Amino acid sequence: MTTKTLTITEDLQQYLMETGVREPAVLNQLREVTATLRGAQMQISPEQGQFMRFLIQILNAKNILEIGTFTGYSSICMAMELPADGQLIACDLPGESNDIARDFWKKAGVEDKISFRLEGALAVLDELLTEDNNHGRFDFAFIDADKKSYDAYYEKCLKLLRPGGIIAIDNMLWSGRVVNAANDDDQTQALDALNRKIHKDTRVFPSLVPIADGLMLARKI
Ligand code: CA
């Protein structure tokens, strides 16, 4: 027993996969395809996908924002849990991963729930913010893109989120590098600064969850 978070050994990771994750075959297949690509480590882990599905379920989410789609693993997890009339707006830059995401959305039967925006996410969020009825419309936002823009994504998503909605921000423990951010690069410093900002941010109730590379959850008050 311990009052600290466990160190996850390879054996324990295997056990976690066996007993803590129900991964549909289509997502397993997507992991195999993604593993051959450059940037394969950008894919979220299966236990994180399971956790995000759980969050979408308990929120009864209907409208979701995703900043950073890559080959589509996280978007499939979230879209699977949306009702038929739910919508996920997925933002990414044009690249070789786009077609894989589209292909697997079809395979997973979620393509009708996803609107793909292939441009800078800040522009997409700004466009959404120009319409008053988008303010407070979204139940969930997942941020997993360029780290130096995280703070800007967070601020814009917070405006688009309803009270009680959740922003989930990926890689917030950054392989542990955040503990020595002052001596590290500007991506690490940006992540550390955002962790510290959210810790004090009275607009949200935070929980920094040490799953995978660290998932910051901020629930809008
Ligand atoms: Ca990530």
Span from the CA of 36 to the centroid of ligand 1 (angstroms): 17
Whether 147 is covered by a domain: the verdict is yes
Q: Are 104 and 30 in contact (CB under 8 A)?
A: yes
Compute the distance between CA of residue 205 and CA of residue 220 in angstroms, rounded to an integer. Answer: 7
Instruction: Give per-10-residue mean pLDDT for the chain (221 aa).
Output: 89 97 98 94 96 98 98 98 98 97 98 98 98 98 98 98 98 98 97 98 98 98 98
CA distances from 146 to 40, 51, 52, 149, 169 (A): 15, 22, 20, 6, 11
pLDDT at 142: 98
pLDDT in tens, 37-49: 989 999 999 999 9
Whether 25 is covered by a domain: the verdict is yes
pLDDT at 79: 98
Name the DSSP class of 166.
E
Whether 5 is covered by a domain: the verdict is no
Span from the CA of 44 to the centroid of ligand 1 (angstroms): 6
Whether 108 is covered by a domain: the verdict is yes
| Whole-prediction pTM | 0.97
Span from the CA of 130 to the centroid of ligand 1 (angstroms): 28
Whether 205 is covered by a domain: the verdict is yes
Residue given tokens 């390879």 in the structure block:
10
Give the domain range for residue 92. Answer: 10-220
pLDDT at 2: 78
Whether 69 is covered by a domain: the verdict is yes
Span from the CA of 138 to the centroid of ligand 1 (angstroms): 21
Whether 152 is covered by a domain: the verdict is yes
CA distances from 18 to 8, 14, 25 (A): 14, 6, 14
pLDDT in tens, 137-160: 999 999 999 999 999 999 999 999
pLDDT at 209: 98
Span from the CA of 148 to the centroid of ligand 1 (angstroms): 13
Span from the CA of 197 to the centroid of ligand 1 (angstroms): 20
Ion ligand 1: residue ranges with CB closer than 5 A:
144, 170-171
**Which stretches within the chain are classed as H helix?**
10-20, 25-34, 46-59, 73-80, 97-108, 121-129, 150-160, 186-200
Span from the CA of 186 to the centroid of ligand 1 (angstroms): 17
Span from the CA of 144 to the centroid of ligand 1 (angstroms): 5
Whether 4 is covered by a domain: the verdict is no
Domain count across the chain: 1
Q: What is the CATH number of the domain that holds 78?
A: 3.40.50.150
pLDDT at 37: 92
Degrees to nearest 5, angle at CA 112 with 56 and 149: 60
Span from the CA of 84 to the centroid of ligand 1 (angstroms): 27
Q: Are 90 and 101 in contact (CB under 8 A)?
A: yes
Span from the CA of 170 to the centroid of ligand 1 (angstroms): 5
